[in-house]
Amino acid sequence: MNIELLQKIPEAAETLIIPIFEKEAPPKELPQSLYSKVNQLLKTGEFEAKQGNYIVVHTQERIKRLFLVGLGCKLKANSNILRNAVADCARLSKQRNISSLVVMLPKLTEEEGFIIQATAEGLMLGQYLFEKFKTEKTDRKLISKAFILAKRTKENEAMLRLAKVNADSVMFARDLINMPASIMTPTKLAKVATSLKSKNMKVKILERKDMERLGMGGVLSVARGSVQPPKFIILEYKGSKQKSKPFVLVGKAITFDSGGLDIKPADGMKDMKSDMAGGATVLGILKTLQQLNLPLNVVGLIPATENMPGQDAYKQGDVVISYTKKTIEIGHTDAEGRIILADALGYAQKYAPKCIIDFATLTGACIIALGTVAAGLFSNNSELAEKLEKASNQTQEKVWRMPLWDEYTEMIKGDIADVRNISIPPKQAGAITAAAFLKEFVGNNDWAHIDIAGPSYVDIEKGILQKGATGFGIRLLTRFLINETKNH
Ligand code: BES
Ligand code: MN
Ligand code: ZN
């Protein structure tokens, strides 16, 4: 999709998206005849500009078609509501074979750049479909050309570029997550990562024998029940010439989580191809950095394996020696994510990182707590947590901070090893005790854990969401990292 900024409605425009606030007049920039038409629809109550409402209006004029989209109350409206409203229009245009359109920008309190970004992301993500395995593809035209009515300043152009790169990375991650587990194996994921190699991106894959040599007992134990060889994927992005400390991003990539010997019931296993969403998120973030050439150093670590109940599967009561030498007592083979992350978080420390941030579809308990609306945020450093919360407010990829008090660490003490991979008593504070487990492997580093089990995969088709993978976390972390480049 080609998107451009334009100051005036172009001559050839046929379709116009007009965002409108509830109980407010239409935008004054509309040509007179269209203004009166829209105004009448609002006055008669034929269209109510409530959030989520939209209608298509046909005219007898040069601009043939208007999408009126409601943003709700002006005081509460924000760029996220706009992003979703525009995405709804993009989905609708797909059904109507509309291949080019113009979007008017509403007057929100945020900087114009953010409003442009939201609009462009909405256009692109609203048209996302995963049709790789449909023999009959949607025969509808996608939008090939879109104009956003805004000043062509340097900042605005930069935000538009950010939006395009972001949306591309989000769709790239969605594709990886939506792909069936029999195709998206650890080996395949490693191949995808390797394809990101470039002048400023090194990619290294650790094989089973490398992990044996390094003592990565966590990944190796979880991989024992699977015929698929595990991979430990390392990406090193160097965007800053100085020897500045890298941000280390860690992503859980269980390419299929059957639960292992403590096998999941069918219902719980249904979407477990998506248990590598953390890894896909990290790949998406690195792809964005690479394309924007951001002046930062960032490392991505992705432990990748299946969790299967094969002949040689790891068992309850086993003791695993992790990369840091800390020992793990296995209380449940379905709490596998934290075990592979233990190795990766330990490995992260060798980079003397500025901070470590991990993404993981770690616990069902986090979905119980926050639904698919928000991810759980856990951190041993409030300054880092607040920076992530700021980026979350800016991008509206929602995170909610949860506590990590010592009492929770007490709950994961092992009987015969240092820590246990499930808590006693079980089924209490499941998202937090999982995070408390991870905390044991980060040393003194500043660290944040983002449990994306809820928002990474949804059953909703609305706004920028399609059923299946969402690509959650890429927009959030890109914003966080851009904010970081401005702090120096
Ligand atoms: N991958 C799951 C968590 C999950 C569940 C993600 C549902 C997305 C949707 C994780 O490996 C898991 O199985 N966690 C267990 C932990 C329990 C055994 C302590 C859980 O949440 O039930
Ligand atoms: Mn599991
Ligand atoms: Zn899992």
Considering only CA atoms, give the Rg of the chain.
24
Cα of 361 vs centre of ligand 1, distance in Å, is 7
**Which CATH number is 55's domain given?**
3.40.220.10
Place of tokens 């990590």: 404
**Mutation choice for ligand 1 from 275, 333, 433, 457, CB with most ligand atoms inside 8 A:** 275
**Which CATH number is 401's domain given?**
3.40.630.10
**pLDDT digit string (tens) for 301-318?**
999 999 999 999 999 999
Do residues 116 and 204 both lie within one domain?
A: no
Residue 356, pLDDT score: 99
Do residues 144 and 177 both lie within one domain?
A: no
Do residues 242 and 120 both lie within one domain?
A: no
Do residues 191 and 124 both lie within one domain?
A: no
Do residues 143 and 228 both lie within one domain?
A: no
Which domain range does residue 300 map to? 172-487
Residue 261 and residue 226 in contact, taking contact as beta carbons nearer than 8 Å: no
- Pairing type for strands 319-321 and 297-307 reads unpaired
- Of the candidates 200, 105, 118, which has an alpha carbon nearest to the alpha carbon of residue 149? 105
Task: Please report whether residue 446 resides in a domain.
Answer: yes
Q: Tokens for 341, please give them.
A: 């992350």
Angle formed at CA 181 by CA 180 and CA 186, multiple of 5 degrees: 130
Neighbours of 343 (CB within 10 A): 28
Q: For the chain, what is the domain count?
A: 2
Q: What distances in angstroms separate CA 416 from CA 23, 172, 200, 317, 438, one per listed residue?
A: 66, 43, 45, 9, 19
Do residues 135 and 197 both lie within one domain?
A: no
How many whole angstroms from its chain centre is CA 461? 16
Task: Please report whether residue 62 resides in a domain.
Answer: yes
Cα of 277 vs centre of ligand 2, distance in Å, is 13
Q: How far apart are CA 441 and CA 341, in angstroms?
A: 9
Residue nearest to atom 5 of ligand 1 (CA): 364
Q: How far apart are CA 163 and CA 404, in angstroms?
A: 34
The helix/strand/coil state of 96 is: coil
Q: Exposed, middle or buried: residue 110 (CB in 10 Å: 0-12, 13-18, 19+)?
A: middle
Task: Please report whether residue 165 resides in a domain.
Answer: no
Domain boundary among 119, 150, 181: 150
Do residues 46 and 140 both lie within one domain?
A: yes
Q: Tokens for 259, please give them.
A: 């639960």
Task: Please report whether residue 69 resides in a domain.
Answer: yes
Rounded average pLDDT over 165-193: 98
Cα of 1 vs centre of ligand 3, distance in Å, is 35
Q: How far apart are CA 270 and CA 265, in angstroms?
A: 9
Do residues 349 and 209 both lie within one domain?
A: yes
Domain boundary among 115, 150, 185: 150
Do residues 42 and 180 both lie within one domain?
A: no
Reply yes or no on whether 224 is catalytic.
Answer: no
Residue 65 and residue 16 in contact, taking contact as beta carbons nearer than 8 Å: yes
Q: Is the CB of 422 under 6 A from ligand 1?
A: yes
**pLDDT digit string (tens) for 332-376?**
999 999 999 999 999 999 999 999 999 999 999 999 999 999 999
What number does the ligand 1 atom closest to the CA of 434 have?
19
Q: How far apart are CA 57 and CA 386, in angstroms?
A: 44
Q: What distances in angstroms separate CA 446 from CA 52, 296, 354, one per listed residue?
A: 40, 17, 7
Provide the mean pLDDT of the chain: 96
N-to-C CA span, the chain: 34
Q: How far apart are CA 122 and CA 312, in angstroms?
A: 47
Which residue type is seen at 431?
A
Task: Please report whether residue 231 resides in a domain.
Answer: yes
Q: Tokens for 481, please give them.
A: 């990292």
Task: Please report whether residue 163 resides in a domain.
Answer: no
Residue 224, pLDDT score: 98
Reply yes or no on whether 62 is catalytic.
Answer: no
Cis preceding linkage at 27, omega within 30: no
Do residues 123 and 247 both lie within one domain?
A: no
Helix (H) or strand (E) holding 20: strand 15-20
Rounded average pLDDT over 273-290: 98
Do residues 199 and 310 both lie within one domain?
A: yes
Rounded to two decimals, what is the model's pTM?
A: 0.97
Q: Is the CB of 306 under 6 A from ligand 1?
A: no
Helix (H) or strand (E) holding 209: helix 208-214
Neighbours of 112 (CB within 10 A): 16
Rounded average pLDDT over 448-457: 98
Do residues 145 and 201 both lie within one domain?
A: no
Residue nearest to atom 14 of ligand 1 (CA): 363
Q: Tokens for 336, please give them.
A: 């596998």
Q: Exposed, middle or buried: residue 75 (CB in 10 Å: 0-12, 13-18, 19+)?
A: exposed
Q: Is the CB of 5 under 6 A from ligand 1?
A: no
Rounded average pLDDT over 127-153: 90
Task: Please report whether residue 155 resides in a domain.
Answer: no
Per-residue pLDDT for 266 more than 70?
yes
Residue 441 and residue 303 in contact, taking contact as beta carbons nearer than 8 Å: no
Task: Please report whether residue 290 resides in a domain.
Answer: yes
- Of the candidates 309, 349, 347, 113, which has an alpha carbon nearest to the alpha carbon of residue 210? 347
Q: pLDDT-derived band of residue 206, with 50, 70 and 90 as boundaries?
A: very high
Cα of 363 vs centre of ligand 1, distance in Å, is 4
Per-residue pLDDT for 488 more than 60?
no
Paired strand residues for 253: 304
